[in-house]
């Protein structure tokens, strides 16, 4: 299939889905959001707090002290990790639904939680890919940083260690080019693992390393095609971003109105800690678009995997996922 044919097939699967794809997406988004929000209402995520304090201009040591202090710190860290693992397993259940639907097989709400039946392998794959991504990041960024230092040193020779005149412009251009080259190379490396979740779903008994190797085989020479496929959804992503920004603007307007009787100190605290108003609006306003876009993109992604599998004539899966 060409990219247009692939997206046309994905839209066809959307229309033919029973239960309706938007219902599946709604349940998936609720499951993916409700549990983290429930945990956040009980204890603050220390990593999120650290990011918020840093955004407000606090130094890293002070932000870390504020975020990771208090009697509930250990519980917060534990629950944050648990929620992350829950999200990883839930995501692969949605991948399973997309895979079944593109194959025109039955898939229902129960498919969304099918990943919990193989949670150990799913989490293991996620940790494996995270480790590989981290190691590749070090392997790419450390030489890039050293090269940047060398470029700055060469461009400042003869000017007393300062970047002046044309040398400053040349140094800036070279630094940007080095960063771009490193980022492109890193993205190309990471994309080799894009098909690993689908490969694990199709062949869970083969293990994590086999899923990674199969993904490398499927993505060989097709990484640019995969990028172009997702770039074709860029307009929808921008619209989703605008809706999220609108939700934040509405929330700020409400908080500004409340600032008159309550004072800006309360508003600053509410913004800092992440009020339910922000979370609810950011979830509800873009929700109708998400219920259509999320399964659309997911089906196109699954279709890309299946097309590559057919092209390489790889073996078919030995077991199916629960429908319920």
Q: Is 64 left (phi over 0), alpha (psi -120 to 50) or beta?
A: alpha
Percent of the chain with pLDDT over 90: 36
Report the pLDDT value the prediction gives residue 210, as an integer from 0 to 100. 92
pLDDT tops 80 at residue 208: yes
Residue 153: CB partners within 8 Å, gap ≥ 6?
A: none
- Which helix H or strand E contains 198, and what residues bound it? helix 196-202
DSSP state at residue 70: S
Residues 98, 298 contacting (CB under 8 angstroms): yes
Of 33, 25, 49, which is closest to residue 109 (Cα–Cα)?
25
Write down the pLDDT at residue 160.
Answer: 55
Task: Choose among 198, 1, 2: nearest CA to 98.
Answer: 198
Domain ranges of the chain: 3-312
What is the per-residue pLDDT across 144-200, written as a single tens digit (0 to 9) for each?
A: 888 888 877 777 665 555 555 566 677 788 888 888 888 888 888 889 999 999 999
Measured CA distances, 201 to 243, 291, 295 (Å)? 33, 23, 18
Q: Is the pLDDT of residue 67 over 80?
A: no
Residue 324: predicted pLDDT = 37
As a residue count, the chain comes to 324
Which structure tokens are listed for 227? 């990028």
Question: What local confidence, expressed as pLDDT, does residue 81 receive?
Answer: 83
pLDDT, position 38: 74
Percent of the chain residues topping a pLDDT of 70? 77
Average pLDDT over residues 223-240: 92
At 273 the three-state DSSP class reads helix
pLDDT tier at 124, thresholds 50, 70, 90: very high
* pLDDT, mean over the chain: 81
The encoded tokens of residue 192 equal: 């080799």
Question: Concatenated DSSP letters for 161-183?
Answer: T---THHHHHHHHHHHHHHHHHH
* pLDDT digits 0-9 by tens, 235-286: 999 998 888 888 777 767 766 666 555 554 554 545 544 455 666 777 788 8
Per mean pLDDT, which range of 54-63, 209-218, 264-273 is the poorest? 264-273
In this predicted structure, the answer to whether residue 127 has a pLDDT above a threshold of 80 is yes
Predicted confidence at residue 320, as pLDDT, reads: 46
Tell me if the bond preceding 174 is cis, omega within 30° of 0.
no
Q: Looking at the predicted structure, is the pLDDT value of residue 319 above 60?
A: no
Q: Cβ neighbours of residue 129 under 8 Å, at least 6 residues apart?
A: 193, 196, 212
Average pLDDT for 277-297: 83
> The tokens 């259940």 sit on which residue?
93
DSSP state letter for 104:
T
Helix, strand, coil tally for the chain in percent (to 5): 80, 0, 20
Name the one residue in this structure whose structure tokens are 């490396």. Answer: 189
Q: Which of 87-96, 167-176, 203-212, 288-297 has the lowest mean pLDDT?
A: 167-176
Kindly tell me if the per-residue pLDDT of 215 is higher than 90.
yes
Residue 41: per-residue pLDDT: 66
Q: For residues 103 and 129, give the distance between their C-alpha atoms in angstroms, rounded to a whole number.
A: 26
Nearest to 102 by CA among 293, 296, 316, 283: 296
* pLDDT value at residue 51: 74
């Amino acid at each position: 299939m060409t990219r247009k044919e692939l997206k046309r097939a994905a839209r066809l699967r959307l229309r033919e889905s029973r239960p309706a794809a938007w219902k599946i997406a709604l349940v998936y988004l609720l499951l993916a959001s409700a549990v983290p929000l429930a945990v956040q209402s009980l204890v603050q995520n220390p990593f999120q707090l650290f990011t918020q304090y840093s955004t407000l201009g606090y130094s890293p040591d002070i932000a870390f002290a504020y975020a990771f202090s208090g009697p509930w710190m250990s519980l917060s860290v534990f629950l944050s990790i648990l929620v992350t693992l829950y999200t990883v397993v839930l995501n692969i259940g949605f991948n399973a639904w997309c895979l079944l639907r593109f194959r025109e097989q039955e898939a229902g709400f129960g498919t969304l939680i099918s990943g919990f039946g193989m949670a150990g392998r799913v989490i293991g794959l996620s940790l494996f890919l995270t480790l590989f991504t981290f190691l590749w990041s070090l392997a790419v960024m450390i030489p890039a940083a050293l090269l940047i230092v060398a470029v700055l040193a060469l461009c400042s020779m003869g000017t007393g260690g300062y970047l002046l005149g044309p040398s400053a412009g040349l140094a800036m251009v070279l630094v940007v080019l080095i960063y771009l080259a490193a980022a492109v190379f890193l993205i190309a490396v990471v994309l080799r693992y894009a098909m690993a979740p689908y490969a694990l779903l199709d062949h869970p008994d083969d293990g994590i390393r086999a899923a990674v190797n199969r993904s490398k085989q499927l993505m060989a020479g097709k990484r640019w095609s995969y990028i172009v496929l997702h770039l074709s959804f860029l307009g929808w992503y921008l619209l989703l971003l605008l809706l999220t920004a609108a939700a934040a603007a509405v929330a700020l307007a409400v908080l500004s109105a409340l600032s008159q009787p309550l004072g800006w100190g309360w508003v600053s605290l509410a913004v800092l800690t992440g009020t339910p108003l922000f979370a609810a609006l950011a979830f509800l306003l873009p929700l109708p678009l998400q219920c259509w876009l999320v399964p659309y993109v997911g089906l196109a992604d699954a279709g890309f995997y299946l097309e590559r599998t057919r092209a390489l004539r790889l073996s078919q899966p030995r077991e199916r996922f629960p429908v319920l």
